[in-house]
Structure 1
Amino acid sequence: MMELLELMLVLATVVGVTDGNTILVKDNTGQTIPVKLACINVPKALASTQKLKQLLPPKTPVVIRSTEQLESGRTVGEVFVDNRSVNLLLVESGNAVVDRESLQNCYESKTQFLIAEANAKNKHLGLWQQSKVQLKFHAK
């Protein structure tokens, strides 16, 4: 079962951004589904939600690599625009941190995620501007 899930790609279009780590998409069957961004933690900050809205305006075509299905019916996945991981872009820009607990779900890009976080931290980007990061994160 797990192997099939790894390869589950969903072709979709962005409907909107719910918050800093959840988007609404319409899949190719016309169903609207919420997608939680995998492998990252996003602070409850307006900046993160704004960044996501900037990266994913409505009607943006996306490919989602689904990593798990939550009992709530939400899909968890890595969202790609033009072959770039939006999840990774959020970490690169300091709008998200790597979620160590679920990082194995993004095994192909695990190293990239950790490097992106270290770079953002080093350059004091986004949430790393504060000396000690004491932020509230969205619930899993």
Structure 2
Amino acid sequence: MTLKTQTKDRYGRTVAEVFTADGLNAGLTLVQQGNAFAYRQYLKQCDEWAYLDREKLAERYRLGVWRSASGIERPWGFRAARRGGQSQPAPRPQRPVNLTIINGAPASAPSSGRRWYCRNVGSWERSQQLLREGHTYLDGDGDGEACEALR
């Protein structure tokens, strides 16, 4: 793993992007899987739109924290509400979200470059693994489950 240091937070802690040995951005992967939020305060030092795109993708496909129809309150909004303040500063202008980006590649060609079809996957378990790897097109109805006919 390698760190790409971006800045320090108000407590002096290092804010960095984490990359795996094979060069994948661990933070982007976590956001894309719905296991983390794109923390807007520090996105200016990173590829801001990639993080926001991945978060929107996870929300669209109801992955991770987005499984609930209403989603989940972001941690900084929860803390601000407890303090009685605003949950976020005024919203920034939004760029149209590109829902085809997965791990830096088009949705039709995640990291492996191969496009899978349910009839060729072999098993429901394998289809779920492929979905987690970014082959979101295998989830035709957007419910977070790929190749349901294989079940």
TM-score of the aligned structures, taking structure 2 as reference length: 0.44
Higher helix share: 2
Larger Rg: 2
Instruction: Compare relative contact order (CA 8 Å, sep 6+) and give the higher one, 1 or 2.
Output: 1
TM-score of the aligned structures, taking structure 1 as reference length: 0.48
